[in-house]
Structure 1
Amino acid sequence: MRLADEIARQLGRLTDHLDQLPPHEAVQVIAHVLDPEDGLLDGVIGFMSVSSSFAEKQAEQGVLPAEVWLALGRATNELDAIGLHLNEHRAALRRVGAQPAAPAAKPPAPAPLVIRRHR
């Protein structure tokens, strides 16, 4: 439990600091967290997968309701799908994160936010 509490505390600290970072550094942190091989999101997906397997065994023995196992399995699948969707944007995150800090004199041109879903 102490490890889980520490991880949650550290994630809270990271979240708090993200808003305070210069934009290019914030993008670097986001890209690192979303890295599909050793990022935080991949770790959470792995944790959920193991949790689902554990819950399945416990449900088979009657210790946990089957709904708990099913919910953990769905959550794992949804997180995995989210990771795949975010993976499409890795190159953009890396490109922006690799750029040096933009000079304060000329901010980037704003872009209209139009949501397009790719399927």
Structure 2
Amino acid sequence: MSHPTPDPIGLADAITRQLQLLAEHVAVLPPHQATQVIAHILNPDAGLFDRVIGLVSVSSTVTRVQAERGVLPAEVALALGRAANDLDAVGADLDEHRDTLRRFGAHPSGAAKPPAPAPLVVRRRR
């Protein structure tokens, strides 16, 4: 295990700024580059999204222990636990599309035949 960062709040702030910068870049990248970055973010082996899920999961465990000790209200731990479970489910949903994102992101614009335009319909699974 690595050594704790002397300033974990500063680290969190720096990561937050970097995430904002990444979002701003993705918003203006050419489509194939944006797709490459998104596929990289969603990579389940070393992707950013998986690391965020891990962070929320660890935070859930920590808050549960704190709630059991009476330091935090149980509702906080339960909410964070639900958030961790929900993010994990979202990650599983996105995993189904990882190869497609990688395939479309690997080709310069026009090299891969894009799918036909389709209206987006919101579907929720519970």
Match of 1:38 in 2: 46
Q: Which of 3, 20, 26 is the matching residue for 1:18?
A: 26
Match of 2:5 in 1: none
Offset, 1:19? 1.7
Q: Distance in 1 between matches of 2:57 and 2:49?
A: 12
Q: How does 1:1-119 map to 2 (within 5 A)?
A: 1-102=9-110, 111-115=117-121, 117=123
Secondary structure at the residue paired with 2:44?
A: coil
Q: Alpha carbon RMSD of aligned pairs, Å?
A: 2.1
Offset, 1:32? 0.6
Structure 1: 4+ residue segments shifted above 4 A:
116-119
Q: Distance in 2 between matches of 1:12 and 1:90?
A: 23
Is there any run of 5+ residues in structure 2 with no aligned partner, and where?
1-8
Is there any run of 5+ residues in structure 1 with no aligned partner, and where?
none
TM-score (norm 2): 0.84
More moved, 13-22 vs 69-78 = 13-22
Q: Distance in 2 between matches of 1:118 and 1:71?
A: 20
Q: Distance in 2 between matches of 1:109 and 1:9?
A: 34
Q: Distance in 1 between matches of 2:14 and 2:37?
A: 19
Question: Aligned residues: percent identity?
Answer: 57
Q: Deviations over 1:35-65 (max 9, x none)?
A: 1111111011100111011011101110000
More moved, 16-25 vs 94-103 = 94-103
| Count of residues paired in the alignment | 116
